[in-house]
Every structure is written in structure tokens, then in C-alpha cells.
Amino acid sequence: MSEEDELEGKSLVEKEPKEISPYEQYILSWKDLSKAPIDLWLIYANKFFNYHTFTTFVSCLAIYLSEVKEVSDSSLSIVFGLLGVGGFTFGLLLGNFADRHGIKLSLILGNLMHTLKYVLLSVNQNIYFQVFVIIFLGAISVSLANPALESGIKHYTDTHYRTLAVSCYGSISYLAFLLSGIAIEILLTFGSKDEESFRLLFIYCAAVSLVAFILSFFIRDKNHQYNSENPNEEIHIVKHSGWEHTREVIILKNFWRFFIVIWMIVIIRTVFYHQSIVLPLYMDRDLGDDTHYGAMIILNQIIIILTIPFFSYTIYYIGPYTMFIIVGVIAAISPMFFMLGASYSTIIMFIVITSIGESLLAPRILEYTYEVAPRGKESVVLAISYLPLIFSIMFAGVSGGILLDNFCPEDGDKHCWKVWGIIAIITVPAVLILFFLRRFLENRKFESQPFVSCSKESQED
């Protein structure tokens, strides 16, 4: 046999797929993840510091505005509503920045805005100035940094261990949130609910954000793709206009299916963010003690961190869309524990159930986004996928403020259990839509006509 025949035979053998069990695939994914490029680990570090400051700030924001600045529940709703509107607006305007200008620059600018936000909050205590900084700089920083971070997970991983990398990304987020709980527990236990204590918290957040800002400079951005789908292909930064770049995504039918699914997830995920907005005020007003609110956050994050590696094994058996429906049912059930009365026992039961739901949901949103996103345009779709965080916080803030004002006011008759009953009912329509409209909403990998009917591409086709 000639040398050429031997090489051809060897090539054919190598191309034959080797069947391995899901468990063997899971173990192999861990081994491959350990060999990922240094850029992935810098993305992880950036996410840790970035998310730690974000969750620390958001978890304390309702307490700070309500008890330090004495903002009314209705005004609190307006602030969170404006926060969501700002995040959505700048998310659309800056969502394609990482695709067009690179992950590195997007992270540098995003972390710079994060740091500047906390510095300004610590030096100026005027409520109107602070609200402006929170809405404006907060929205810009999130819109630049988050799509870049999540694009980085795809760019710096191979397909066969990408879902595991996403799960680790989620675990790092919750580890950061765990430390946020510790920081809040220290603040509420040993500090006071006054301007000086929160000023120190803002300074702490600024220092941590500065670390993320410095680390951003070490991420490599040249041909920022490490995809095994075609290792010889180079992906260069896109040169056409931002609108054209975005338009190439929004003319796809799959994008609009994805958009509707994401909005259903926004409604479902609102339950989880009531932990940060409604729960601390509920504990203070109905239980009469919010001292250990930080401990509840710590419990929440410990459960998530411990369960995410276990639940990541489900990726081989349960698809993302099915998981969205399962989590929706969990979200609808979890607030019902408050019907049993106000106690740490009911709060802990709520925390345990929502923690399991969050650990199932968070990695699968990113996985589903990667399935939908056209190659080279990931950050546009990722910016949209960030809506569950932005608008869940907004809806939780707006609905939480209204419900607290009507059923669990600081003074007067209290029927706080009704707050949680209504929160549970709100999620039900989203779950039903996902379940009954699945055949219309689920992502389609192959489609003869992928463009929406009103686009010029569909008419040309």
C-alpha cells in the first residue's frame, strides 16, 4: 500500500465518529475546558468582579432608596422602571459594539463606566444626581460589558465543551453573588442604614470594578474566534454600519421567535429578582426583621453553586426550551410558601425553590442564545438575551413597589401574603404561552425561507 493510500485510510478512520456515553462526554468536556485559552479565564475573572459589584449594588438599592433616601414605594417603582428603559435603550444602541469593535474595547469601556458610576455615587449624595448616574452610566456599562462577556464565552471555546463553559460561567456569577450576600450581611449587621455606610459600600464597588477594568486590557482581541466548526476560518471585525449589522439579525424569523421566548422568560424570571427588591422590604414590614437578609442571599447562592454542576448534566437529556417550561412551573409555585405566613421557615423554602429554578435556567438562556445567534453577530442577539435581567429587575421593581404600597405598606393594615400570591399568578400566562405555542416559538435550525416576509431578502428569494 502506498503512503498516499495509508494517509487516505487514516483520514477516513479519523473521520468516523466515536460513540461515547453522555457521562464520558461530560468528563471529556471538563478535560477540554481545562485546556481553554487564557482569554476564557480572563472573561471568567471579569464576570466575577463585574457581577459581584452589580449584584451587591442592586440587592441594596431598594433598601438604600427606601430607608436612607426615604423614597416612597411608588417612586421606587419609577426608578426601577427608568432603569429598565435605560438598559433596553442602550442595549439596542450598543448591543453590536463588541461585534464591530471587538470584545476587548467593549469590556474596557464597560468596566470604566462601572467604576465611574460607583465613584460618582460615593462623592455626591444628591438623590437626583444619583438616580441619573444609576440610570445613565449603569445602562451604558451593562450594555457594553455584558454582551462582550457572553460573546467571549463563545469566541474562546470549542463547541463540544461550550455548554459546560456556560455552566461554569453561571457558577462564577453566583459565587460573585454569594460574596455580595456576605458584604450585605456585614453592612446590615455591623453597619447602619445611613449615608456613610452606603458610601463605603459604593467605594468598595468602585475598587472591585477597577480590578475588572485592569484585567480587560489583557484579553486578546485579534481574530477573536476559537471555534472548532472551522478552525482555518478567520473572523475579522465587521466594517459596515451598526444599523446594517443589526438589521441582518432582525430580518430573521428565528430572531423574532427568540425575542418572544425571551419576553416570556422576563416574566418568569421576575420571581427570582423579587428576592432582591421585595423580599428585604417584606422581611422588615411583615417579619419585623431584615437583619439577616444578607444570609438569605448567601443561602440562595450556595444552593445555586452546588446544584449548577449537577444540573449541567441535564444538557444531554433536556433541551433549553423544555427547561424554560420546567423553570416556569417552578417560578409559579415558589411564592406560594408565603401563604403559610411570615417566618424564616417560609422565606427559606422560597429561597430553596427559586435557587433550584435559577440554577436550571441561567446557563440554558445563554446556550439557547448561541443556537439562535448568526455567526459573527453574537453580541446583537446576546444584547437581546440580556433582557431577562434588565426587564426582570424593572418589572420586579415596578410591580414590587405597587404591590408593597397596596398590600404591605410601611404603615397601616398589612396583607403581605397577597403580594406573593399576585407575583405567582403573573408568571402563569408566560408558562402557558411557552407550552401551547411551542411548535411556533421553538428555534428552527433548518428553514427554507429564514427571512421575515417584509424584508427585501425574502422577496429576492
Tell me: the pLDDT tens digits for 60-117? 888 888 888 888 878 887 887 788 788 778 877 887 788 778 899 999 999 999 999 9
Residue 317 domain-assigned (yes or no): yes
How many domains, in total, are found in the chain?
1
What's the CA gap between 227 and 219, in Å, rounded? Answer: 17
Residue 147 domain-assigned (yes or no): yes
Residue 196 domain-assigned (yes or no): yes
What pLDDT, on the 0 to 100 scale, is given for residue 425? Answer: 92
Cβ neighbour number for residue 17 with a 10 Å cutoff: 5
What's the CA gap between 461 and 459, in Å, rounded? Answer: 5
Who's near 451: CB < 8 A, 6+ residues apart? Answer: 251, 252, 253, 457, 458, 461
The CATH number given to whatever domain includes residue 439 is 1.20.1250.20
What pLDDT, on the 0 to 100 scale, is given for residue 235? Answer: 45
What pLDDT, on the 0 to 100 scale, is given for residue 2? Answer: 52
Residue 29 domain-assigned (yes or no): no
Q: Report the amino acid identity of residue 319.
A: G
State the residue range of the domain holding 413.
35-222+235-443
Who's near 78: CB < 8 A, 6+ residues apart? Answer: 398, 401
What pLDDT, on the 0 to 100 scale, is given for residue 61? Answer: 86
What pLDDT, on the 0 to 100 scale, is given for residue 225? Answer: 43
What pLDDT, on the 0 to 100 scale, is given for residue 197? Answer: 87
Residue 152 domain-assigned (yes or no): yes
Cβ neighbour number for residue 92 with a 10 Å cutoff: 14
Spans in the chain with pLDDT lower than 70: 1-19, 22, 222-245, 289-291, 376-380, 383-390, 393, 446, 448, 452-453, 455-461
User: What is this structure's pTM?
Assistant: 0.70
Residue 257 domain-assigned (yes or no): yes
Residue 459 domain-assigned (yes or no): no
Look-up of cell digits 479519523: 14
Note whether 215 and 45 are within 8 A (CB): yes
Who's near 93: CB < 8 A, 6+ residues apart? Answer: 143
Residue 5 domain-assigned (yes or no): no
Note whether 37 and 226 are within 8 A (CB): yes
Who's near 324: CB < 8 A, 6+ residues apart? Answer: 261, 264, 265, 268, 361, 364, 368, 434
